[in-house]
Amino acid sequence: MPIWNIGSSTVTRIEEQLGMANMSPDRYFRGFERDVLERHLDWLVPHHYAPAHDKVISSVHSWLIRTRHHTILVDSCAGNHKDRPWTPRFHQLNTPYLQRLHDAGVRPEDIDIVFCTHLHADHTGWNTMLRDGRWVPTFPNAKYYFSKAEAAYWNAAANPAMAADPRSAVYVDSVLPVVNAGQAVMIDHTHVFDDDIGIEPSPGHTPGHVSITLGRQGERGIFSGDAIHHALQVYAPHWNHMADEDPVQAAITRRLLLNRCAEEGALLFTGHFGAPHVTAIHSKSDCFHPVFVDGH
C-alpha cells in the first residue's frame, strides 16, 4: 500500500470502494459548468471521470495515521450490513475493509483514536460492526472524537428536525453504540493533541464538519473530509456538492482550505478524490490547481 510521510508520521489509505458515483456531474455538483470539465479531460480520465458514462469517479476510504504515539483512523467509510436505502452505494455492503486494514499492519484493537470529520453514512460506518445482532464499536480500545455540534444535529433525540429524516439512522447504529460504550469524546470547535495533531471547524457540508491537521507549517497534511469532494473543484471551488447542507458556507470553507494548502505547502488528504488521492495545491492569480502526489 502507498504511504505518505508527514514529518515523522506516516499516512496510508484504506480503501472501501473506488468507482463511478451514481450520478452525472451536473447532478453531483451544484453550479456545474460543462465547459470546465471539458477543458480538463486530459487529466480527469480515467481516474476522476468516466466519459463513456458521463459519471464522476469517487473513492470511499479512510486515512490511517501512525505517529510516534498513536494509531489513528480518520473517517470510517460506510461499513458492512448498514441499512441505507436512501443511498444504494452504501446499502447493505459486505466489503473486505477490515482485511485491508490488516494488510496495512493494523488490527481493530490497535486503533487508539478515531476521528469523524462529520456524521454522513460514508464517514462513520465502520465505527461499529454487527455482533450477535447488536451494533458494537469496531475499535474496542479507541476513543472516538466527534464534533458536539455535528452529533447534536444528527441525533433525532436532540434535534426534532431529524425525526423524519432517514439519515438519522446513521447516528443510531454508528454513533450511539460508541457513546453507550463510553468511547465517545465530544469536542467543541478546535481541539489540540500532541503529535502536532489538531481538529478545526470547517462547516458548510454539514453544520459541525471538522478537518484534521497533522504536522507543522512546511510539512503538514490536512484531512478535509467532505469540505471538497472532487479534484475538479480545485479549479472550480464555487461548485458545491449536491449534499452540502449550507452551500454558501461550504464554498467559503473550500476556498479557505485551498488557500491554506497553497500558502502552507500542506498536502490535501480528502475523503473522495480518485487516484492517486493526495494533492498539493498551487495557486496563481487567485486560481488554484492540483498537483497529485504519489505515495511510496
User: How confident is the model over 150-166, as pLDDT tens digits?
Assistant: 999 999 999 999 999 99
Domain ranges of the chain: 3-292
Is 77 within 8 Å of 272 (Cβ atoms)? no
Longest dimension (CA), the chain: 58
Position 54 scores a pLDDT of 97
Mean pLDDT of 4-28: 95
CATH class of this structure's domain 3-292: alpha beta
Q: Nearest Cα to 205, choosing from 183, 226, 229?
A: 226
| pLDDT score for 211 | 97
Burial per residue of 128-165, b for 16 or more beta-carbon CB atoms within 10 angstroms, e otherwise: bbeeeeebebbbeebbbbbbebbbbbbbbeebeebeee
What is the reported pLDDT for 22?
84
pLDDT tens-digit series, residues 23-41: 899 999 999 999 999 999 9
* 180-211 confidence digits (pLDDT tens): 999 999 999 788 887 789 999 999 999 999 99
pTM of the model: 0.96
- The reported pLDDT for the residue numbered 76 is 98
Q: How confident is the model over 229-234, as a mean pLDDT? A: 98
Is a pLDDT exceeding 90 seen at residue 86? yes
